[in-house]
Structure 1
Amino acid sequence: MMIRKVILAVIALGFLTVSCSDDDNPVKTSRLTLNLDGLEALGTDYVYEGWIIVDGSPVSTGTFSSVSFPQIFTVDSEQLEKATTFVLSIEPAVDPDPAPAATKVLAGDFSGDEANVNSNGIVGDFSTSSGKYILATPTDTDDTNEESGVWFLDNSSGSPVAGLNLPALSAGWKYEGWVVFDGTPITTGTFTAVNAADDNAATSMFKGDANNGPAYPGEDYLQNALAGLTFPTDLKGKTIVVSVEPDPDNSPAPFTLKPLAHMVPADAMTHTAIMMGDGPVKSLAGVVSR
């Protein structure tokens, strides 16, 4: 009889333990799977963070720094079922703000259990982007080094106009021009408007001392060359790139979105508009499954 009472007591305790466990952890969870293409690692100071939009409000699904996919996250089942949209943002690794940052890189609405996400609507649609540039060095008075500067303008009509045809960017993003010197990209400056001087027009360490240049994005590489380079130089054979950068920027290197690029022809003429081509990455995409 005593043995039977002990067994019954143990069984009762087991039921009690399970019941308490269920009461202490009432939230049911489900898996959210990310399969994303084209993302690059952000470095140590920034991370990617996923969000589901539930009743119009963002709910974090977790942060990550690895760009190997698929990746699986555990999310509140009820919230995940009610979610209408998935958004991916770029956040500081140490983030005092629980809300999503302005820099959102992917988004898409759920249709059933999947959301096809892309960068076109949330960053900008670069499918029809185009550009022109000229080789010139307007920031000094020396006319013998004109192949050492690049300016994103079109002077084909005789008067300069904007050389870049790019969409206005969403908040949290800026454009940046680059020249690739033997595999090393060096900035021409960041900008948001194609018909105005870029952000470093008055502070560039590379420009000449005569003036800040025309009211368009661009750069003269005339002085203060980085290690291994000599300025003035010849940009023929170098690659000109326009990228789309997070703001604030996660890295001094170009971000993965590069809608325009062009290798300067060996026979390029200075002060003559040159057409750019498509860059290597014009959009990012992926599938999010619940």
Structure 2
Amino acid sequence: MKKVLNLIMVFTVTIFFVSCNNNDDAPTMANLTVNLDGLEELGPDFVYEGWLIVNGNPVSTGTFTSVSFPQTYTVDINDLQNATKFVLSIEPAIDTDPAPAATKILAGDFSGNTATVNSDNIVVDANGTIKTLDASWGKYILATPTDTDDTNEASGIWFLDNSNAPPAVAGLGLPTLAAGWQYEGWVVLNGTPISTGTFTSTTEADSNAITSPFKGTAGNGPAFPGEDYLIGAAAGVNFPTDLKGATVVISVEPNPDNSTAPFTLKPLAHIVPSNANVHSVLNMEAGPKAILTGTVRR
């Protein structure tokens, strides 16, 4: 009987150690592969950061600055298996806040082991009337309403439609953006983009309407985004100038911004015709990049 009891104890201890060894051998980490299209390098003070959404909570997968893909990250296997969504954000390079910033640029839900991500479902506010940057449209006129000189009207650009004025109406049809994002207008002079100002509303003046160093002295212009280039110089061009032949761009920018150059999302663009008439409406066209896409695999 004693011999039988000893055998039972040995068998039990053996099972215990085998079980422990099996648990010890179980992997605790696994690979997450990210393959994204259209990202551009950020300014020196910012980085991209990936996040898994696990039980409603964000779990960082790490930061990166290179925009060469695919990239693979090693993460906790339980977090990876339980994640329902992947999100990519733009973060300060020196960041004391463990939570994601408001500037979330890509997102997508996992279906099986793959998440198809894009920028529309995170940069664009889903509650807005226009749901995608691809549906954007734009109109503008050449005019210089911030001075009283009518000989330099081709040196200003305003994103409004005066076809049936008065009153003038908004010249831009753009989606409402999520928190952390804003629009910015640009005119490319001598190959250098010069900002017309940032804005979130197409029916209000932009952020630099009062402080613009280029505008005239007869007011701040109409209550729409735009800019007069009447005083000073930029990109080697003395103002006033003639914007005919220049490229006009509307971009989507992180807020706070990561660079003085336009961000990768540019839903609208147009080359001002050489025979454009001042004060007449000109139509913008689709820009070079209205959506960012990618896949994330676990």
Does residue 203 of the first structure (1) align with residue 192 of the second (2)? Answer: no
Amino acid at match of 2:228: D
Q: What CA distance in whole angstroms lies between the structure 1 residues aligned with 2:160 and 2:25?
A: 62
| Corresponding residue for residue 66 of structure 1 | 66
SS of corresponding position for 2:133: coil
Deviation, structure 1 residue 30: 0.3
Deviation, structure 1 residue 162: 0.3
Over the aligned positions, Cα root-mean-square deviation in angstroms equals: 1.8
Does the CA contact (< 8 Å) of 1:27 and 1:76 recur in 2?
no
| Corresponding residue for residue 277 of structure 1 | 285
Does residue 90 of the first structure (1) align with residue 90 of the second (2)? Answer: yes
| Corresponding residue for residue 156 of structure 1 | 163
Amino acid at match of 1:93: A
Query: Where do residues 56-205 of structure 1 align in structure 2 (5 Å cutoff)?
Result: 56-124=56-124, 125-159=132-166, 160-205=168-213
| Corresponding residue for residue 222 of structure 1 | 230
Q: What CA distance in whole angstroms lies between the structure 1 residues aligned with 2:43 and 2:209?
A: 28
Q: What CA distance in whole angstroms lies between the structure 1 residues aligned with 2:23 and 2:234?
A: 63
Deviation, structure 1 residue 158: 2.0
Q: What CA distance in whole angstroms lies between the structure 1 residues aligned with 2:141 and 2:171?
A: 9
Q: What CA distance in whole angstroms lies between the structure 2 residues aligned with 1:197 and 1:182?
A: 26
**Gaps spanning 5+ residues in structure 2: where?**
1-19, 125-131
Runs of 4+ with deviation above 2 angstroms: 20-27
If the length of structure 1 is used for normalisation, what is the TM-score? 0.91
**Gaps spanning 5+ residues in structure 1: where?**
1-19
Q: What CA distance in whole angstroms lies between the structure 1 residues aligned with 2:269 and 2:81?
A: 42
| Corresponding residue for residue 33 of structure 1 | 33
Q: Deviations over 1:227-255 (max 9, x none)?
A: 51111000000000000000000001000
If the length of structure 2 is used for normalisation, what is the TM-score? 0.88
Q: What CA distance in whole angstroms lies between the structure 2 residues aligned with 1:275 and 1:100?
A: 38
Number of aligned residues:
272
The alpha-carbon distance between structure 1 residues 121 and 230, as it changes in their structure 2 partners (threshold 3 A), is same
Q: What CA distance in whole angstroms lies between the structure 1 residues aligned with 2:45 and 2:284?
A: 33
Q: What CA distance in whole angstroms lies between the structure 2 residues aligned with 1:141 and 1:27?
A: 74
Identity %, equivalent residues:
67
Q: What CA distance in whole angstroms lies between the structure 1 residues aligned with 2:92 and 2:25?
A: 30
SS of corresponding position for 1:127: helix
| Corresponding residue for residue 9 of structure 1 | none
